[in-house]
Chain A
Amino acid sequence: MQTVYERINQNKTSSVILIVLFFIIISALGYLFGVYFRFPIFGLAFAFIISTAMALFSFYDGDSVALSLSGAKAATKKQYPEFYNTVEGLSIAAGLQMPKLYVIEENSINAFATGRDPKHASLAVTTGALKKLKRVELEGVVGHEMSHIKNYDIRMMMLVMVLVGVIAMLSDMMLRTFMYGRGDRDRDKGGGILIIVGLALAILAPIIAQLIKFAISRKREFLADADGALLTRYPAGLASALTKIKNDDDKIVDAANKATAHLFIENPLRAHEGWLNSLFDTHPPIDARIKALKAM
């Protein structure tokens, strides 16, 4: 069993690897793009500037992107005393600074945490969660999110959100250029091969990026469930919250999209059905999570 400290280190290392990988992919895309326009150096420089700017931006400002994409509004103690007190209590139990609190106007039950480290963390829940969950259930959900914060999962997941988004956007742009761009491909043969490689890379990059996203976030949910239960000392609370989410009529968070889905405590996009869907899910099946919690 990994300790919390090992997991924190692992997350920090993965974050660095992710940024390096991001640099390599963007630089490769930029270089090939440059070759296509016969300015390879220019392409590389351009890619370098873009990737540096995006990496810095996602590290320091990724949380506000996630929050504004999901329509989260700052919550005060006066408006939501129960929510505030629950989070404050669990921050004490985890030995962490209290995160900034946000509320999403939504009928569905969901929550997410984001930020670059525990000192710059934000926690958002839907108003549906505050309305429909009992206190012990809300504690379970908040405990789960607090362990994402404590483990530095939030940093990794925030970087994934912005960087994967950027790669998807750029490769989409390149594909369009290659397909509808200049037609005189047989000008020189080297260029032709490079274009094929570039095309393959442009198609593969977002798929690889997606796969990274799925692989990292599914295992994380189980771990956060377990650590959250360790914080609240009451796994049944989260289990019953997850059961409520499962049986709730409102499952879809309108403000969530593919870029932010992996941040939430439960997949905000659609129900888990079918083999192909489950292969590309950002979250493990909810029944498996409930079962694991009940076995604790």
Chain B
Amino acid sequence: MNPLYWIIIVPVAVIILWFVVTYNRLISLRTRIDNAWSQIDVQLKRRYDLIPNLIETVKGYAKHEKSVFEEVTKARTAWSKAKDMKTMAKADNMLSGALKSLFAVAENYPTLKANENFMQLQEELKSTEDKIAYSRQFYNDNVMNFNQSIMSVPTNIIANWFKFTVREYFKTESAEEKKPVKVKF
């Protein structure tokens, strides 16, 4: 074959190869994000399932702390109704806050604090909160990787072509919640 052909064939082959490899890499990065999202989902559901049990246990010792129970239940319902990531993140924050105040209330009841069942639930919920934070961290790490890839040159050419779009981070707090908490006496 005429050696001149190679001057055309080799670069074309290299470009096609680069195309395939890059496209596949982007796909796998995107799949990782979805996978990471399902991890968050698993942990959020786990917490959702633990809450009724916790409320029942606490009620047995602290019946009149109604406002705290209502707050937790409200946040729980808000979370179950959340459809997109933003409302979900917001409900998740609300629920975390409500649970915190529930545990703060429990501090006032020594017999409750010593209850075996309560201690177990507290450990479960606390570690589930941790796992939610960790899965969120893993999710955001993956989003960062993906976003970085599709925005950098020359990968952005392929990303634009196949309509890979920037993914959203799962943010921990909204701006208003970052304000210092007012303590009422």
- How many residues on chain B are close to A (CB under 8 Å)? 16
Of B127, B131, B137, which is within 8 A of A233 by CB? Answer: B137
Query: Does B130 lie within 8 Å of A89, measured CB to CB?
Result: yes
Q: B36 contacts the other chain (Cβ, under 8 Å)?
A: yes
Residues of chain B within 8 A (CB-CB) of A95 are: 32, 36, 138, 142
Residue of A with least CB distance to B36: A95
Complex: how many Å from CA A81 to CA B128?
12
Query: Does A89 lie within 8 Å of B138, measured CB to CB?
Result: no
Query: Does A86 lie within 8 Å of B127, measured CB to CB?
Result: yes
Query: Does B127 lie within 8 Å of A93, measured CB to CB?
Result: no
Q: Per-position contact with B for A70-84: 1 when CB-CB < 8 Å, else 0?
A: 000000000001100
Q: B116 contacts the other chain (Cβ, under 8 Å)?
A: no
Which one of A81, A88, A95 has the greatest number of beta carbons of chain B within 10 Å?
Answer: A95
* Chain A interface residue bracket vs B: 10 to 19
Complex: how many Å from CA A95 to CA B138?
7
Total A-B residue pairs with C-beta atoms closer than 8 Å?
A: 37
Q: A90 contacts the other chain (Cβ, under 8 Å)?
A: yes
Which one of B39, B134, B138 has the greatest number of beta carbons of chain A within 10 Å?
Answer: B134
Residues of chain B within 8 A (CB-CB) of A90 are: 134
Complex: how many Å from CA A82 to CA B131?
13
Query: Does B123 lie within 8 Å of A93, measured CB to CB?
Result: no
Complex: how many Å from CA A229 to CA B137?
13
Complex: how many Å from CA A92 to CA B142?
12
B interface, CB within 8 angstroms of A: 32, 36, 39, 43, 120, 123-124, 127, 130-131, 133-135, 137-138, 142
A interface, CB within 8 angstroms of B: 81-82, 85-86, 88-90, 92-95, 233
**Top 6 A-B pairs, shortest CB-CB distance:** A85-B127, A93-B134, A89-B131, A89-B130, A92-B134, A89-B134
